[in-house]
Structure 1
């Protein structure tokens, strides 16, 4: 029996864990460009070309032919770089390039960014992308990828930056590999090389650090920022100058490379520096950014999307954008004489970014100014950084083939490198989020104890009620709105889409909280069915129930649908799930689009910050839930339907019932919040949300007729035996109707 349970749990866990990640196939991955060349005419990418050639075997590029002669090349950005945006997925852009390293055409062919979902037309993003035609990569190579101006769309800052980064970096790789425009691949020098001296650990004060360039500064006052927007020439931005005295500080920002021992120890102190270095993996680096003034270099975008959209690091054609998982706050700057800052933060530069601490780099600051209700104007400022030579030492290079002038770049990492990088990344994420993991694990553990000892817990009606309210508030506020840990039917569809590929554990270990939730779902399907998640750990379910509680306090009438109608509405959610599943067999993208029938993204992930049709849809569902408790969960939720199907394998029945339940007593059936109890008394496990209210009634000596009769019989016995006086027995409650 135990072996069967264990084997089942492993099988269900493997299935459920994979519900939210498409596995990455190990080994060689075929170039993706072949999937898009038949969808875009070659003349749209390389004007004058009349046909595509064959994909090269050494580089994933396709020649653009005119009468059989090569007139340009076509490539897909995601074949060369894996820069991701809010969605966590690469943005696929088809790019044409001529023999002089000038882009001839750019077409955005696929993305998973939520820009359309927040009211920005997809056509607007495609129009901005198309403007990259004519970009001269020779100038970009000379300027480190910043010879052009970004055309940023308000509300899609990160998406535009990611598109820009992927076009420029992949274009430079292609141009160098093909020798276009005289560009050549970078080579590894054969002579002595410089590295950071790990033994140099001198402590310096603030004046010394800023004086020798260990800490670099960018200072902009009100007059300078207003002049910069005037020089840009946007009349709307000019009409809205920054108010206040010209000499007021707009932003005073400082930058330092703090994984360098002397700099890190001087700024952070021994304890914080040691903590930083224990967090960094081999090859990682870290910068400290400190600021004060009116303008924040962090902003608030990272709170919603997890990406810091106001700063990014640039070194040659390497661009590093920082995510919240690469960020930590600095408690204090310990260097003597350091000024007071309003913002002090650490940002980790990952090892696979290609960053070198011995080369010059710059931190680019994006400054925005509101020029309308939603429109903004943008400027960029660069804070350059060069590590002082005193922190470096020269060593002889190791005797390797790559040290003799061999090309240093490659187009795609090997599967082993990808696997190692992915493993290092998820391990770092888990370490960074260990507090969040501990909180959720504790909550799941507490809920598990409640389920195992439900009879003891539900003896106390008031305690059970307030415990449930508190847990639902935790689920909605912390798990949902703060951590965005909301499961979705899209995860289920992704699983079925991935059955033809090899599964990778690394892919779904990237989100620790979602991993723990799916593990709890796997266990719950065996022990309690879908109700453990749907009734307790679903943030949108918690939102529905809490708003309904408020409605009851406001004496809003509650509607109980006739049993016949109620029972016939149950299949709706299964029909919705099957329709989405059928669409996913045709196209996962189409299915994900129609999965907007789930209100989770609007209400929980984006916190109602979406276009009005989506918000209206959620408001209508919540309004229905004010009158019919858990309306969406009862009749429309495809995720609930998807979980109910494997929940049929549930091996235990924990909810206690009397023979009298349903005949004649209907108390539990009438008080069940989702009407999951049939008139004849049995509980429909597919619909039950495990709220435990029926177990409260099961033991209630003033509401359950069976308990009341037992209590009355016990009192009569006590009176007859003289254990209590007859007056005490007369106070016994009458059986409930």
Structure 2
């Protein structure tokens, strides 16, 4: 006991440090803000700074996620990221600052995590972002944007994703009320009005801009291009531009303008591109809308648009246009084009926007210089024709996790149910089966291959320590939902504490335990000698795992940043999570325990495993003695004790359930009349009595 207390005190003193690491200060943040931007003043108490452009004006905000959204990761500590957001709500950059996620710290390395957060650049907070792939595969066809996750670390990157969104939306709500983060507007199919061209003009549903030749000449007055348009000079009153702009999204408006043939062609176009916003431009002047060099199905070279100060992407819809028969005759032969924008990019015709046409001139005969002036037109379609859908929301992360692993979860649930029922109601029949050894090895192979290497369901002391830290700090346990596969195993293990103690997990469900058992079988095949400690030393060594557990618990409270390093006492990550693809010293450490397991039966599991110590403590909830014993067990019969490789049977014959791994070898012996000494003696006695 003195040794245990001394080691525990040593760890507590050595690892004593503040419980929570402080977030970066201004000096540490500035290097992350690159020109032409710079870091401005602190604007609130949560570490939000101004982002300044090259002219010193506010261009957005810079903030860390931990003060705004301290969501605990799998180490129990939040993942801290730096977000640089522009004034329009777009991510300029996202940088990973600090975290203790075990899979990245000493497993996959930092590069995949950094690569994941780089995907946010250029996306807007108005875009619903989710981690993973569209449910059901393929393209979701909606407004959701999917970010590629990281294999083996999906839970950690989901936590990082939630941290980024939660912190960013908190800043947007407080500092960026003017940013449009609502859903796109779509034409309301329930609005059906019988409109004519005259109705459209009277109700202001058609935008119109007229510019005479004289007006254009005035725009170029005093420039190099003054007087370079002979037609404008010869006919000042002539129409340079007589522009009509019609929003073809609402069906009632399109019906009043287009012929049936063009309506049908437009309907086919919208069926293929349902998010397109079609706009009809008609010019009865001499501008012509596009230049001679314009290529169909591309962006128009003389037309642009903006909304809320941001550009609207326009592109030719490449549709053949004929107008409704009732349209004015002077427009039937005018220049026409149907342009399209994408509603998902934020364009909303029911809100004010500006269409700008370019008046261009050339000066000089050889290699002429081109000059231009802008002709803007303010537009807005009546809001009655539009509706805004409910914001497409990403489902909760735990639902995404369930969907992504639905098949694995079903297979795991069925397997655990069959194994649990077998242990609860058919344990004796299973132990008595003539091929029980092969059956057990088959189950262990499934646990190693499916649960461990494929399903990444190796339980770890890291989860226990993170849970303790969350309890201490009063945080949320939501991070446990990000890995439903492991969570299901944890649920079964907790129930098994009451039924069997630690044995169900340690003997059947632990992938590394299965790997150690296969190592022992290989040692027997190779005829390697066995090295087992004496009974006295076996008892001493079994206390080591409790010392290791106590030291790790001390680390949680006195130096939580070191938890991931201390947790490397478990070789699980190396052997199971990353398939031995790690730095050589981690591989050597895991290999040591497997090589030792070839001569000393499951040495790590019996003596060092801190998770095994937790399981043994949890096993105190056991409500029954599920292994039958006889009065003769222990005295005079010691066969089960001698055969038990775990040393889980006392001299008295009683089962030490804190060390029992539920291998069922003693159950096999107990019920076998050819092995159990009391049964053999009783059979001989009965035979003599019958003979007498």
TM-score (norm 1): 0.52
User: Is the aligned partner of 1:567 residue 2:539?
Assistant: yes
Of the candidates 590, 594, 597, which is equivalent to residue 618 of structure 1? 590
Q: Summarize deviations over 1:27-48 as a string: whole Å, max 9, x none.
A: xxxxxx9941448546545699
Tell me the CA shift for residue 531 of structure 1.
Answer: 0.7
SS of match in other structure, 2:645: coil
| 1:608 equivalent in structure 2 | 580
Contact 2:499–2:624 under 8 Å retained in 1: yes
Between the aligned partners of 2:467 and 2:164, the Cα distance in structure 1 is 34
Of the candidates 44, 56, 64, which is equivalent to residue 44 of structure 2? 56
Question: What does 1:89-238 correspond to in 2, within 5 Å?
Answer: 92-94=80-82, 108-110=97-99, 112=101, 114-118=103-107, 120=109, 185-186=179-180, 193=187
| 1:715 equivalent in structure 2 | 687
SS of match in other structure, 2:629: coil
Tell me the CA shift for residue 594 of structure 1.
Answer: 1.0
Q: How many residues align?
A: 474
Contact 1:85–1:158 under 8 Å retained in 2: no
Tell me the CA shift for residue 466 of structure 1.
Answer: 2.1
Tell me the CA shift for residue 703 of structure 1.
Answer: 2.1
User: Is the aligned partner of 1:703 residue 2:675?
Assistant: yes
Contact 1:459–1:700 under 8 Å retained in 2: no
Q: Summarize deviations over 1:260-287 as a string: whole Å, max 9, x none.
A: 9xxxxxxxxxxxxxxxxxxxxxxxxxxx
Change in Cα spacing, 1:604 to 1:399, as seen in structure 2 (3 Å) is closer
Change in Cα spacing, 1:470 to 1:39, as seen in structure 2 (3 Å) is farther
Contact 1:535–1:690 under 8 Å retained in 2: yes
Of the candidates 45, 64, 69, which is equivalent to residue 76 of structure 1? 64
SS of match in other structure, 1:645: helix
Change in Cα spacing, 1:516 to 1:82, as seen in structure 2 (3 Å) is same
Q: Summarize deviations over 1:566-615 as a string: whole Å, max 9, x none.
A: 11000111111111111011243311221011111111111112221111
User: Is the aligned partner of 1:359 residue 2:344?
Assistant: yes
User: Is the aligned partner of 1:436 residue 2:446?
Assistant: no
Tell me the CA shift for residue 163 of structure 1.
Answer: 13
| 1:496 equivalent in structure 2 | 468
User: Is the aligned partner of 1:473 residue 2:445?
Assistant: yes
Contact 2:95–2:118 under 8 Å retained in 1: yes
Change in Cα spacing, 1:45 to 1:564, as seen in structure 2 (3 Å) is same
Contact 1:80–1:173 under 8 Å retained in 2: no
| 2:645 equivalent in structure 1 | 673
Between the aligned partners of 2:639 and 2:274, the Cα distance in structure 1 is 66
SS of match in other structure, 2:674: coil
Tell me the CA shift for residue 502 of structure 1.
Answer: 5.7
Q: Summarize deviations over 1:472-502 as a string: whole Å, max 9, x none.
A: 1111111111111111111111111111466
Between the aligned partners of 2:178 and 2:486, the Cα distance in structure 1 is 44
Of the candidates 611, 616, 620, which is equivalent to residue 648 of structure 1? 620
Q: Summarize deviations over 1:263-316 as a string: whole Å, max 9, x none.
A: xxxxxxxxxxxxxxxxxxxxxxxxxxxxxxxxxxxxxxxxxxxxxxxxxxxxx9
Tell me the CA shift for residue 451 of structure 1.
Answer: 2.4
Change in Cα spacing, 1:712 to 1:640, as seen in structure 2 (3 Å) is same
Contact 1:64–1:74 under 8 Å retained in 2: yes
Contact 2:184–2:343 under 8 Å retained in 1: no
SS of match in other structure, 1:447: helix
Contact 1:46–1:97 under 8 Å retained in 2: no
TM-score (norm 2): 0.55
| 2:489 equivalent in structure 1 | 517
Change in Cα spacing, 1:559 to 1:214, as seen in structure 2 (3 Å) is farther
Please, which runs of 5 or more residues in structure 1 have no aligned partner? 1-32, 145-153, 198-211, 216-255, 261-315, 318-355, 362-393, 403-407, 409-416, 721-737
SS of match in other structure, 1:525: helix
Of the candidates 648, 653, 661, which is equivalent to residue 633 of structure 2? 661
Of the candidates 558, 565, 585, which is equivalent to residue 586 of structure 1? 558
Change in Cα spacing, 1:42 to 1:50, as seen in structure 2 (3 Å) is farther
More deviation, 186-195/546-555: 186-195
Contact 1:119–1:611 under 8 Å retained in 2: no
Question: What does 1:38-49 correspond to in 2, within 5 Å?
Answer: 38=25, 40-41=27-28, 44=31
Between the aligned partners of 1:106 and 1:673, the Cα distance in structure 2 is 51
> Quick check: which has more Rg, 1 or 2?
2
User: Is the aligned partner of 1:627 residue 2:595?
Assistant: no
SS of match in other structure, 1:108: strand
Change in Cα spacing, 1:453 to 1:194, as seen in structure 2 (3 Å) is same
Contact 2:452–2:576 under 8 Å retained in 1: yes
User: Is the aligned partner of 1:482 residue 2:454?
Assistant: yes
Tell me the CA shift for residue 64 of structure 1.
Answer: 8.7
